[in-house]
Amino acid sequence: STAPASWDKPLAGKVAVVTGAARGIGATIAEVFARDGATVIVADIPAAGEALSETANKVGATALALDVTAPDAADKLAEFATERFGGIDIVVHNAGITRDKLLANMDEGRWNSVINVNLAAPHRITEGLVAKGALKEGGRVIDVSSIAGIAGNRGQTNYGASKAGVIGMVNAEAPKLAEKGITINAVAPGFIETAMTAAVPLPTREAGRLMSSLLQGGQTVDVAETIAYFASPASNAVSGNIVRVCGQSLI
């Protein structure tokens, strides 16, 4: 069949949810989705309140205080989106945390919190939204993995395991979601310049930048535009894929 005449507003009429969207990569995903014509819900933890409202105002999105690890997170999200907008077309599981420690000091608390936010929550929320019928036929699920889940990273056993888990989860969920006409894909960003990576010590930051064949950190928009592709009709026939963003990892 023929190509569309234009990609102006490819997400018009779509309702998109972005978790962890108060700042960083999530805020830029929300901005790009709004540009592409989507109705956007930006979700973040209650403690992010003010930053979340600012992001929502800036991009013209609706804010929702939502801790993705809450047992009722999927219910809350489904109810909110269904009441206001009639359901969800696109969900981006972007919320993520690091709790780095070298292996000998990798305690249960750090392990569990990272696995819960980065891996268990996206799974529970996707399952919940599908079970409730809140995620519509033809819907899109986009997960955020990391190059740390592919190549590993010193001090990030918990983080690397959670992000490798995301890849396994995407592969496992793709055929099941396909039965409902829903696609699922993930991005695996390299080192991206955000508050998360600004918090790591300078030598580690420099090493992170040099892990990429681009020999510099990526920008949040690089990740957001790749996610916008997975959200758009351009990727109708694409599911179960992981795309690295930020050049080729050199490790």
Give the residue numbers marked as catalytic: 159
Q: Is 24 in the site for ligand NAI (CB under 6 A)?
A: yes
Nearer to ligand NAI, 37 or 207 (CB): 207
Helix (H, G, I), strand (E, B) or coil at 67: coil
Considering only residues 142 through 201, tell me which ones interact with ligand NAI, judged by CB under 6 A. Answer: 144, 146, 189, 191-192, 194-197
CB 88, min distance to ligand NAI, A? 16
Q: Is 80 in the site for ligand NAI (CB under 6 A)?
A: no
Considering only residues 40 through 69, tell me which ones interact with ligand NAI, judged by CB under 6 A. Answer: 44-45, 48, 67-69
Helices (H), the chain: 24-35, 49-59, 73-85, 108-115, 121-131, 157-178, 195-198, 202-210, 220-231
Q: Is 96 in the site for ligand NAI (CB under 6 A)?
A: yes
**CA 163/CA 149 separation, integer angstroms:** 4
Count of residues engaged in binding ligand NAI, rule: CB under 6 A: 27
DSSP 23: S
For the chain, give percent helix, strand, coil, nearest 5.
45, 20, 35
Nearer to ligand NAI, 14 or 163 (CB): 163
Q: Which residues bind ligand NAI (CB under 6 A)?
A: 19-20, 22-26, 44-45, 48, 67-69, 94-97, 117, 144, 146, 189, 191-192, 194-197
